[in-house]
Amino acid sequence: MHDVIQLETQQTHVNPVFNTLVHDGWLLRFSRGYSLSTDSVWPLRQGDIGLAATVAYCEEQFQLQRQSSTFRLTSLGYHQSIDAYLRDSGYRIAESGVVLTRALSRAPTTALKTLPLTRWLDLCYRLNPEDVSGQRLLQEQLLSQIELPMWCAVIEADGIAVGYGRAIQSGSHLYLDDLWLLPDWRRRGHGQRLLDGLQGFGQAHGATRAYLTLSDANPRATAFFRQAGFSLAYPYHYRQR
């Protein structure tokens, strides 16, 4: 249980939002509908108020924001009780996925080019125009709030940029996100080079464990990271109505 709460809490630090409310140990996160992660309720504590009253409060707050009520749930025991209540109240599963983690060992790393956030996002959208289409400004506004050590990296081959990735360090944990390669450059070892380079940034600054989240809709990525030494920490899903 401790590891789940620790990693869930870490993720609220590395994925900032515009507004957060705290209600009986539950975090209500709002970011103008940017993503499920940034616009949902995270029950980080079991709470002392009755479940029905707490859910009703959350629903009221999301209604004020003109957003669908969304809850992030994991394998924690008290999350299962919340999940059953939401299911019986008509909430559907909007997305499911896994949190993967691995211990960082002193392996050879790849030198990666890093860019300031704005230039890095420019490159990301140039290489992958479908990436969060139409939310470029909103994404930069959110990421620019991060005060933790963050590396926005680019991987190159034959003198051109072929992919990108991002790593954020919070204490001994290194969060990996937005790893992507041009389709024609996949299955050539560049994904592992990108991963090694990002992990190297964290190791150089004392990180001992890496973790990331993956949607179940991306089985190829899950297979890649498992082959790279990551293992399941816990599953998660979002319920929405």
The verdict on residue 228 lying in a domain is: no
| 1-37 confidence digits (pLDDT tens) | 558 999 999 999 999 999 999 999 999 999 999 999 9
Query: Across the chain, what does the average pLDDT equal?
Result: 94
- Over residues 73-78, the mean pLDDT reads 96
Do 110 and 201 fall within a single domain?
Answer: yes
* pLDDT number for residue 117: 97
- Condensed to tens digits (0 to 9), the pLDDT of residues 90-100 reads 999 999 999 99
Check whether residue 56 and residue 109 sit in a common domain.
no
Domain co-membership, 130 together with 48: no
pLDDT tens-digit readout, 98-138:
999 999 987 667 789 999 999 999 999 999 877 555 688 89
Strands 209-215 and 92-103: antiparallel
- 49 and 136 part of one domain: no
Kindly report the pTM of this predicted structure.
0.93
The range of the structural domain enclosing residue 23 comes to 2-96
Q: Is 142's pLDDT higher than 70?
A: yes
Whether 87 maps to a domain, the answer reads yes
Q: Are 156 and 82 members of one domain?
A: no
**Distance from C-alpha of 24 to C-alpha of 50, rounded to nearest angstrom:** 10
Same-domain pairing of 47 and 110: no
Residue 47 near residue 26 (C-beta atoms within 8 A): yes
> Distance between alpha carbon 128 and the CA centroid of its chain, in Å?
19
Clarify whether residues 47 and 136 are in a common domain: no
On whether both 88 and 111 belong to a single domain, the answer is no
For residue 229, pLDDT beyond 80: yes
| 84 domain residue, yes or no | yes
Q: State whether 31 and 92 are in the same domain.
A: yes
Q: Is residue 91 domain-shared with residue 110, that is, in the same domain?
A: no
Domains in the chain: how many in total? 2
* Confidence at residue 66, expressed as pLDDT on a 0 to 100 scale: 96
Q: Cβ neighbours of residue 222 under 8 Å, at least 6 residues apart? A: 98, 100, 214, 216
Quickly state the pLDDT bin for 182 (edges 50, 70, 90): very high
State whether 111 and 186 are in the same domain: yes
Asked if the structure places residue 240 within a domain, the reply is no
How high is the pLDDT of residue 174?
98
